[in-house]
Amino acid sequence: MKVARQPNLEPMPEDTEAKIFRAAEEEFVARGYKGARMQHIADQAGINKSLLHYYYRSKEKLFRAVFSKTAEKVFPKIPKMWGWDVPLIERMERFVDGYIDILLKNPMLPSFVMHELQQNPGQLVSMFGDLLSFPFQKVKEEILRSMESGEIRKTDPEHLLANVVGLCVFPFVARPMLEKVTGMSKEEFDQFLIDRKQHVKEFIHRALAP
């Protein structure tokens, strides 16, 4: 008689599929779709190239699997960070906090998204455009209301969106040049990115205060 499989209390040694997945994640994020090499992924996973095709039929399918998971993990957090129960400026501050926290945990993600956005805009936009555009419409309405009530200055909501996201994302994408220009070391720049949460919040706060 078969014994029922025990639930995974101890972490199992990573199975092949998971190893491939994790290796692919690194490779794609680091080098983009075109730059990624199936051979590198196989090497990193410690297996043969053919096995990649056994588990995921093609590079394209592997990419979709990896990126769907990564993005589904990250993107849905974005609208949720927007707390709905406090004044608008405080909500934006929470958003900045949560957003930069995600970026600190996934520092290569912005460059990756920017790159794929240029090389293959349709794919990303079709996957996540709708997911993000509905929350934006809700936020936009609130911004307009807060402007009416005098809580914040009159500002174009589309520009405000670009400002907030851009202020958070840009240092991650432009890191090598910023390091050189400012003369910061790796460690100093890491600290700079952590400090950035506070700075961006204050910067936006001042710009929006009536």
Partner DNA sequence: GTCTATATAGGGATAGAC
Partner DNA sequence: GTCTATCCCTATATAGAC
Q: Which residues bind DNA (CB under 7 A)?
A: 16, 36-39, 47-51, 53-54, 57-60
How far apart (Å, rounded) are the C-alpha atoms in residues 58 and 44? 18
Q: How near is the Cβ of 65 to DNA at its closest, in Å?
A: 13
- Residue type at 22? R
For DNA, the closer CB: 62 or 103: 62
| In the complex, minimum distance from the CB of residue 64 to DNA, in angstroms, rounded to a whole number | 12
Structure tokens at 182: 């400012």
Q: By the criterion CB under 8 A, which residues form the site for its own copies?
A: 31-32, 34-35, 111, 114-115, 117-119, 121, 124-125, 128-130, 132-133, 136, 153, 155-156, 158-159, 161-163, 165-167, 169-171, 173-178, 180-184, 192, 195-196, 199-200, 203-204, 206-209
Residues 6 or more apart from 108 whose CB is under 8 A from it? 29, 30
Closer residue to its own copies in complex, CB, 75/101: 75
Cβ(49)–Cβ(165) below 8 Å: no
Contact 172, 107 (CB under 8 A): yes
